[in-house]
Amino acid sequence: MALAAALLVLLLATPAVYAVQYTVGDSSGWSTSGDYTTWVQGKTFNVGDTLLFTYDSSSHRVEEVTKSDYDNCNSGNSLKTYSGGNTVITLSSTGPMYFICPTTGHCALGMKLAINVVAASGNTPSTPSPSGSTTPSSGTTPSGSTPPSHGGAPSITNNGLMLGFSLVLGAVLAIMS
């Protein structure tokens, strides 16, 4: 009993954030046969996730480059270079990241990867946010929205009248048609 309770507490206390390791290219790995434009589709890269590049270290490497070098397949001034065939890169900050293989011709063959890293969403279940967010911003209430509580009673009356008019109008139209 006590153990079960402890486990339950542990489960509840564990933040609902799980770092994900993405194997770049999945079964293709990091190679000239991968399609990394397609591979990134539908994936969300959060801060704290990792990229795993697996590749033949005799023919490929991984370079992190600027967007311009990514666009132009320019490997002359990489931000970081990785080799060895098994590279894990932790996504430590938000924003775009660009990777290419610096081996001649490989980037042009498609060994280029662009991702956008976003902040980890945190433990946000799909519950509505607390009441504070529903207050209209600084008096610029758009017309038609119900005013806050102090004007409540008149507005209900108005709505009732409007509803009444609508019903009458609808009835008249129905009769006329």
Closer residue to Cu ion in complex, CB, 25/97: 25
Q: Which of 106/112 has CB closer to Cu ion? A: 106
Q: Give the span between the Cα atoms of 89 and 64, in whole angstroms.
A: 10
In angstroms, give the least distance from the CB of 109 to Cu ion.
Answer: 8
The nearest distance, CB 73 to Cu ion, in angstroms, is 11
Find, among 96, 117, 99, the residue nearest to 46 by Cα: 117
Interface positions with Cu ion (CB under 5 A): 60, 101, 103, 106, 111
Cα distance between residue 86 and residue 147, in whole Å: 60
| Rounded Cα gap, residues 109 and 96, in angstroms | 21
In angstroms, what is the C-alpha Rg of the chain? 28
Structural contact between residues 36 and 113, judged by C-beta atoms closer than 8 angstroms: yes
- Nearer CB in complex with Cu ion: 60/112: 60
The nearest distance, CB 84 to Cu ion, in angstroms, is 14
Q: Which is nearer to Cu ion, 97 or 111 (CB)?
A: 111
Nearer CB in complex with Cu ion: 49/82: 82
> Min. distance of Cβ 55 from Cu ion in angstroms?
7
Give the shortest CB-20-to-Cu ion separation in angstroms: 25
